Amino acid sequence: MTSLKHLDLSANYFNSSIPNWLYSFSHFDFLNFRKNLLQGTISSSIRNLTSTISMDLTSNQLDGKVPRSLGNVCNLWEPRLLDNKLSQEVSEILESLLKCVLYGLEVLEMYDAQLSGHLTKELGQFQNLTTLSLEGNSIWGPIPISIGKLSSLSFIDLSSNQFNRTLPQSFGGLSKLEYVFIGGNMLEGVVFETHFSHLRRLKELSTTPTRLTLKVSPNWIPPFQVVILGLGSWILGPNFPLWICSQRPVWSLDISNKNVKDAIPPLFWNMSSQFNYLNLSHNQIYGQILNIPVTLYPSSVIDMSSNSLNVFWNHTFMDRTKTFKLDHSQPSLKPKQLCALTSLQILDLSHNKQFGSIPGCVNNLKAMASTSNNILQDLFVVDGDSVDFERALLMIKGQVLVYTTNLRLLRTIDLSKNNLSGEIPKKMASLQGFNL
């Protein structure tokens, strides 16, 4: 044991406290106790692990405060304390790390750790930090201006906390930033072009839901090209944000709940040939969509509901779509077009002005009749990280239901609240789900 450098005991069922003998091994470089049932507190004897570079205590049941002596582990550059019950103010942990750990720290992951308090200006002193993950805590107050000093930062996740006020303009100076997650907070106020001025490497901006207001010039072209853009609940209107059309690599786009009162410009449909997720719902978008030239990924999710759109169905656009929501809109639906959508697994055309009978060929919707549970299981890779979109929010019989891990089992058609007449086709019995 005296020469052991790397100890990995992850994914076991140790249900004791951290054994005292562990703290006597000053020569460990890497310690991994991830996904166990370790209980109790972290001992102040952790200061003895002077050689430790990476320490992973993720997903245990540790409680109490992180000892200040953690700051004496001078070689530490990657402490992972997420998914525990630390019940501590985040500023206390940062203060303890301001000792000799300060200049070596590169990764700080403490999401879902029951942290509280607010981020202080001392955060800006961790200038070698590349990853900061504080998601799912109860951290409150403004995001400090000093965040702009984290010149090495490439990944930040502050989502699902209680941050308020607005995004500091210093945010725009983080030139190495690639992934941003700040949704689920109480942020508000105005965001300008300067907030993004140096974010040339940005690949994902996920901020849904956030009540920020974006004010940019009509001809603004962002310095970044993202693949995932989530701006749900931002105030962008009343005009359609033309700058989005410059994001040609994007394959996941959410600009729902924005009070956009405009028609979709034709240029929008040329911005990407690879949409996987598109959410334009709950705006006041109007006009006709006659020809949509984009080609969709398998298992694409399209939500244009609660607008004033008149969609003339395009088979090229729809033939690979698994989920399509156009409730509270005005689609122009022809029987042959509906029956050609053999890949659809979820179809919502409720609360529209459809009339006539249900086409007898509706049983051609093969995905509806399939018993396979792999239809919505496609994974996509962005720079080595897999991303899936196994989530749908549906209104069924007056109840809003959120489907996540069980989404792949769902097959449903909703044609309710229309002006349909005639008989229900007998062949519809072969479908797995139907809501009329």
Mean pLDDT of 380-402: 46
| pLDDT number for residue 380 | 37
CA-based radius of gyration for the chain: 25
Task: Look at strands 355-356 and 346-348 and give their pairing.
Answer: unpaired
Q: pLDDT confidence of 24, banded at 50, 70, 90?
A: confident
Higher pLDDT pick, 382 / 242: 242
Strand stretches in 248-388, DSSP E = 252-254, 277-279, 286-289, 300-303, 308-311, 321-325, 346-348, 355-356, 380-382, 385-387
Predicted confidence (pLDDT) at residue 224 exceeds the cutoff of 60: yes
Predicted confidence (pLDDT) at residue 295 exceeds the cutoff of 90: no
Q: Report pLDDT digits (tens) over 41-51.
A: 999 999 999 99
CATH code of the domain in which 22 resides: 3.80.10.10
- pTM to 2 decimal places: 0.82
Q: Report pLDDT digits (tens) over 54-98.
A: 999 999 999 999 999 999 998 999 999 999 999 899 999 999 999
Residue 1 lies in a domain: yes
Higher pLDDT pick, 409 / 126: 126
Residue 61 lies in a domain: yes
Residue 157 lies in a domain: no
Residue 285 lies in a domain: no
* Domains held by the chain: number: 1
Mean pLDDT of 134-163: 97
Mean pLDDT of 219-241: 94
Phi, psi at residue 70, to the nearest 5°?
-60, -30
Residue 323: which of 231, 433, 242 has the closest Cα? Answer: 433
Tokens matching residue 408: 């792949």
DSSP code for 36: S
Q: pLDDT confidence of 306, banded at 50, 70, 90?
A: confident
Domain extent for 26: 1-88+108-115
On the CB side of 224, how many CA atoms lie within 13 Å of its CA? 27
Residues in the chain: 436
Q: Which of 131-135, 209-213, 333-337, 428-432 has the lowest mean pLDDT?
A: 333-337
Residue 307 lies in a domain: no
